[in-house]
Structure 1
Amino acid sequence: MEVESTERMKKVHVKPINIWEDFFKDKTHGGHRYSTEEFLALEAREKLFHLDGGKTLLDFGCGSAELLTYYAPKYEKLVGVDFSPSMLREADKRIKEKGCNNIDLILANHETLWDHLQFPFDRITAAGVIQYLTFQEIDAFIANASKYLNPDGKIVFFDVLDPRLYPLWKLGLFAPKAGVLKALYRIWCDLWYSISATLKNRPRNIYGFSHNPYKLQEIANKHGFEMRYVQSMYYEYKYHAIMFRT
């Protein structure tokens, strides 16, 4: 599929290769807990703290640029990448509204984006998107990212589903009024959604895969990176994986 370029959106040949690209192809907003600008600003501030500087940034899975526009004042040049055409249309609108002239957008997935980059980056990040990749795809992503990362650069995966905490969240145990009845109700809803999704040929779980941080650390070490992980401030069942060269 070939898309028309805008002032910021580059022409890239990309076609859906998995169920997630098909699922998100017409979505217009990311999966943030709240969509208010106040919350987005707080979430971006936390992520900027962990990004910790740099002048150039690549954001894979940028969605509708809800965080990317908050990153923009801190960087000289930013590139947002997403495999959803509808998300990038919303991103382009938001970038224009916010007057962020230092952001370019690319329509591509985790495999095709590397052929369209023109310079290396100080920071390569992905927020709430790594759960849609398998460990094998994450391995390949880190290998490719390392080729486009400046010597003192970092790769940061934000909001990765923690397999140790995610099941507890699904049961509602982090909710203000947690209890047995609420947990049983969540189990029933999850079962019903799974059945309905199967019948409609949709993903059974829109949150994707949960990834053990120690497995991510193993992959990072394989490619010459140290990795530390920290708990997300705004999502009890997610963590951030911060990778840097030794």
Structure 2
Amino acid sequence: MEVESRKKMKKTHMGPKNTWEGFFKDKTHGGHRYSSEEFLAMEAREKLFHLDGGKTLLDFGCGSAELLTYYAPEYDQLLGVDFSPSMLGEASKRISQRKCNNIDLILADHETLWENLDSNFDRITAAGVIQYLTFQEIDDFIAKASEYLSTDGKIVFFDILDPRLYPLWKLGVFAPNAGLLKALYRVGCDFQSSILSALKNRPRNIYGFTHNPYKIQKIANKHDLEMRYIQSMYYEYKYHAIMGRVPEL
């Protein structure tokens, strides 16, 4: 099934406004550690635990719906959003194959998404996406998401790059065969990749920006949300940010 024909799917008018849109426009799979269904199912179970209920869910940056289809049995209605037409094409196929009739799709980015919404959500989530936004864009996203969040709803950002652990992961510290020579080799490869990417004016890798959890927490508090962060179970160098409204006294 083609993306344009998916039931209730909406499309916003938007051209490539940044390098990340260009980077992902032809991609068809997300950046999961493993692509096997067994791993995706385990990753989804961890994320469902932290989502902790709700009946409606918005998944920003849903990609090819690898996790979204595992969320589907736990929710009444789900909305997947991505700015990559090719990703949504794969998402539409996967949703149809798995007969997830409670999922709709929207082609939009972090700015154009909100003009297409006409209801609130119990959970607004993004997995492996926030690293492509600046702190100002994250601030704007949380502000808008709060307007479409149910009274007892949660905003959950999964798998944010931790600036304290990401450099160690790049050096191979968490790898089974970690060592000095391996670390030096990785440094050399990363340097070469950075130079080539700069010459071609493109992102040097799929990973994006690192974001200090305390800065995310400060943004959340600014919008009257409490936040706690939790280490990712399947990615040593990432964490989850779970946000909810501050209880009234």
The TM-score bracket by the shorter chain reads over 0.9
Kindly provide the amino acid, as one letter, of the partner of residue 210 in structure 2.
S
Unaligned runs of 5+ in 2: none
Quote the residue 1:209 is aligned against: 209
Contact 1:8 1:103 in 2 (8 A): no
1:51 aligned to 2:57? no
State how far apart, in whole Å, the 2-side matches of 1:19 and 1:172 are: 27
Q: Provide the C-alpha distance between the structure 2 equivalents of 1:205 and 1:36, rounded to a whole number of angstroms.
A: 22
Does residue 34 in structure 1 map to residue 34 in structure 2? yes
**Equivalent residue number for residue 19 of structure 2:** 19
CA distance in 2 between partners of 1:74 and 1:244 (Å)? 20
State whether structure 2 residue 202 is matched by structure 1 residue 177. no
Cross-structure match for 2:220? 220
User: Which residue is equivalent to 2:113?
Assistant: 113
Partner SS for 2:209: coil
CA contact (8 A) 1:81 1:108 kept: yes
One-letter code aligned to 1:63: G
Deviations 1:17-65 (A, max 9, x none): 1100111000000000000000000000000000000000000000000
RMSD: 1.0
**Contact 2:44/2:67 (8 A) holds in 1:** yes
Q: Within 1, Cα distance between the matches of 2:11 and 2:121?
A: 21
1:14 offset after TM fit, Å?
A: 1.7
User: Is contact 1:124-1:149 (8 Å) kept?
Assistant: yes
User: Could you tell me how far apart the structure 1 residues matched to 2:51 and 2:174 are?
Assistant: 27
Q: Which residue of 2 aligns with 1:136?
A: 136
Q: What is the SS of the residue equivalent to 1:154?
A: strand
> What letter corresponds to residue 119 of structure 1 in structure 2?
S
Tell me if structure 2 keeps the 8 A contact 1:61–1:83.
yes
| 1:179 partner amino acid | G
Whether the 8 Å CA contact 2:11–2:108 is kept in 1: the answer is no
Partner of 1:85: 85
Matches within 5 A, 1:157-176: 157-176=157-176
Alignment correspondent of 2:200: 200
Structure 1 residues 174-201: Cα deviation after superposition (integer angstroms, max 9, x where no partner): 0001000000000000011111112222
TM-score, with length taken from structure 1: 0.97
**C-alpha distance in 1, partners of 2:209/2:140?**
17
The alpha-carbon deviation at position 16 of structure 1 amounts to 1.3
- Distance in 1 (CA, whole Å) between partners of 2:79 and 2:147 is 16
Contact 1:155 1:244 in 2 (8 A): yes
Matched residue type, 1:207: Y
Q: Does 1:148 align with 2:137?
A: no
Task: For residue 5 of structure 1, report the CA deviation from its aligned partner.
Answer: 4.7
Instruction: Measure, in 2, the Cα distance between the counterparts of 1:45 and 1:6.
Output: 27
Work out whether residues 8 and 92 of structure 1, in 8 Å CA contact, stay in contact via their aligned partners in 2: no
Count of paired positions: 244
Shift of residue 8 of structure 1?
4.4
SS at match of 1:197: helix
Matches of 2:6 and 2:52, distance apart in 1:
31
Q: CA deviation at 1:10?
A: 1.4
Is the contact between residue 227 and residue 243 of structure 2 (CA under 8 Å) also seen in structure 1? yes
Residue 68 (structure 1) aligned with residue 72 (structure 2): no
Q: Specify the code of the residue in structure 1 equivalent to 2:85.
A: P
Equivalent residue, structure 2, for 1:96: 96
Letter in 2 for 1:165: L
CA distance in 1, matches of 2:6, 2:42: 30
CA distance in 2, matches of 1:98, 1:37: 13
